[in-house]
Amino acid sequence: MKIDTNFFKILFLLISLLIFSVPLMGQGTVIVREILSPDNIVIFYVGDFGVTDASSSAPIFEYELSATEYPQSIKITFSMRATVPSLDLNNTEIIYAQTSEFEINGFIRISNTQLVDDINRITDSSGEEVTFSVPIQRNIGDADPTKRDALIEAVTQSGKLPAGAYSFIFSVESSTALSVDNPFESKIIDITNPTTLDLIWPGASLAEEIEIFTIFPRFEWESEGCKYGVRVSLYDPENHSSLQEALNDDAYLPFGGDGYYVGDDPSSKILLYPATADAKQLEYGKTYVWSVKKTCLTTGGEEDRNSNILVFKIADLTGEGDDTGVGGVITDPVLSALQLILGETAFDIYFTGNGELVGYTTVTSILLNGETADAEAVNDLVRLMDSGEVTAIRIEIP
């Protein structure tokens, strides 16, 4: 049987045409890893974002882009949408930037500072220079004119974005990869612009001459968000010309140190003195000043704000004392904690006058959930109970 070689040539040609006419499938996966995130930012200064000038841009977000196989062609889109009830903005786009498609042969890192200039040149991990442009860029893109003007006015007056919920979207597309693994594509950040910082207790202005009756006072202040530190110092009118001078002098808390004491829970707005074994014990008959430092994370880094200064005197009572204190003043830190738990009225019924527990004080170890605890642990527990974070199930007095 004679084989027609032309038939096989034609068949091979047809198969080759069929193979090369089918689009090539993508290869590998592009992977996005978060390096820097705006998660904890509560104040967003527009100037730090540098939407028109990269030199003024602070690092706010940064992502690493890599792939399981190279090369890969990618395109990046970044946008920011705002929901600000005070300006009637509801998921409104306020920033948009999209790069041209570019090729990578190794991993690269992209930050907000590189989405500002029209042309960017970076080097990937293989040592090759990667160039991409940002030809499509809009600011306050979708807002209608009235809302746009209101937002511009708010930003111009304060220099920062108004309080609200902001969506950050970092999208990566690839025309060559099988898939893109990007778990960080979208996140919502609450920008609160916290300004309130009011001291509540103990103390007032110097003229009001506030007295308290315990050397274990409970310091309270009102604010929102951020971290807090407390400073307590002795006030001596013969040595200090002002409350600020007294506060800057040797502190009782933090004792022997500069700055402010920050507890284990820096967001707490309550401090039960002494809070730490390193604090110096307060004394009866002495006058003290205290202040709070509030530290918030902004786009430009941490920003501090100090409260006003309150002054209080610990009463110097005279008279026949007992184990609850000198002249009825509580000296036992555990009894002081009990007073906070029970309230002054209930505490006085049991521990003062003819109360059943007059003269009682702590002489044995304290057990919390079966574990030995000290007075500092009791104070921490009181703070948690007061904030509603824990509830006492049973209290036993042997």
What pLDDT digit, counting tens, does each position of 166-175 carry? Answer: 888 899 999 9
Q: Report the Cα–Cα distance between both ends of the chain, in Å, rounded.
A: 111
Q: What is the pLDDT of residue 387?
A: 66
d(CA 359, CA 325): 9
Range of the domain at 84: 29-191
Indicate the residue among 159, 191, 223 that finishes a domain: 191
Q: Residue 386 falls within a domain, yes or no? A: yes
Q: Residue 114 falls within a domain, yes or no? A: yes
Do residues 125 and 108 touch, judged by C-beta distance below 8 A? yes
Indicate the residue among 316, 340, 370 that finishes a domain: 316
The model's pTM is: 0.63
Indicate if 139 and 264 belong to the same structural domain.
Answer: no
Q: What does each C-alpha distance from 101 to 27, 92, 128, 233 come to in angstroms?
A: 17, 26, 16, 61
pLDDT single digits (tens) 179-235: 999 998 888 888 888 888 999 989 988 888 888 878 888 899 998 878 999 999 999
Indicate if 236 and 356 belong to the same structural domain.
Answer: no
What number is the average pLDDT over the span 145-168? Answer: 84
Residue 327 three-state SS: helix
Half-sphere CA count of 213, side-chain side, radius 13 A? 13
Indicate if 325 and 338 belong to the same structural domain.
Answer: yes
Indicate if 34 and 139 belong to the same structural domain.
Answer: yes
Q: Residue 18 falls within a domain, yes or no? A: no
Does the pLDDT at position 252 exceed 90?
yes
Taking phi over 0 as left and psi of -120 to 50 as alpha, with beta for the rest, 88 belongs to left
Residue 78's pLDDT band (cuts 50, 70, 90): confident
d(CA 236, CA 248): 12
Query: Judging by DSSP bridges, how do beta strands 310-314 and 211-212 pair with one another?
Result: parallel
Indicate if 85 and 120 belong to the same structural domain.
Answer: yes
pLDDT single digits (tens) 93-150: 888 888 889 999 999 998 877 776 666 788 888 888 888 787 765 555 556 777 777 8
Residue 359's pLDDT band (cuts 50, 70, 90): low
Token pair 């990618």 in the structure block, residue:
74
Q: What is the pLDDT of residue 320?
A: 44
Indicate if 286 and 186 belong to the same structural domain.
Answer: no
State the total domains in the chain: 3
Q: What is the pLDDT of residue 328?
A: 53
Residue 9 three-state SS: helix
Do residues 299 and 43 touch, judged by C-beta distance below 8 A? yes
Q: Residue 176 falls within a domain, yes or no? A: yes
Indicate if 178 and 112 belong to the same structural domain.
Answer: yes
Indicate if 174 and 216 belong to the same structural domain.
Answer: no
Token pair 């009118």 in the structure block, residue:
237
d(CA 16, CA 10): 10
Phi, psi of 40 (to 5 degrees): -100, 10
Indicate if 173 and 45 belong to the same structural domain.
Answer: yes
Indicate if 302 and 322 belong to the same structural domain.
Answer: no
Q: Residue 3 falls within a domain, yes or no? A: no
SS3 content of the chain, % helix, strand, coil (to 5): 20, 35, 40
Q: How many CB atoms lie within 10 A of CB 279?
A: 20
- Which CATH number is 251's domain given? 2.60.40
Please name the helix (run of DSSP H) or strand (run of DSSP E) that holds residue 351, with its range, or none.
Answer: helix 344-351
Q: Is residue 351 classed exposed, middle or buried when 0-12, 13-18 and 19+ CB atoms within 10 A define those classes? A: buried
Do residues 312 and 252 touch, judged by C-beta distance below 8 A? no
Q: Residue 397 falls within a domain, yes or no? A: yes
Quote the DSSP letter at residue 69. S
Indicate if 307 and 322 belong to the same structural domain.
Answer: no
Strand partners, 81: 93, 167
d(CA 322, CA 359): 6
Q: What does each C-alpha distance from 69 to 27, 32, 80, 100, 390 come to in angstroms?
A: 7, 14, 31, 21, 52
Does the pLDDT at position 29 exceed 90?
yes
d(CA 88, CA 154): 13
Indicate the residue among 191, 221, 247 that finishes a domain: 191
List b or e across 80-105, with b for residues whose CB sees 16 or more CB atoms inside 10 angstroms.
Answer: bbbebeebebeebbbbbbbbeebebe
Q: Residue 11 falls within a domain, yes or no? A: no
Indicate if 119 and 251 belong to the same structural domain.
Answer: no
Average of per-residue pLDDT values in the chain = 79
Q: Residue 16 falls within a domain, yes or no? A: no
Residue 53's pLDDT band (cuts 50, 70, 90): low
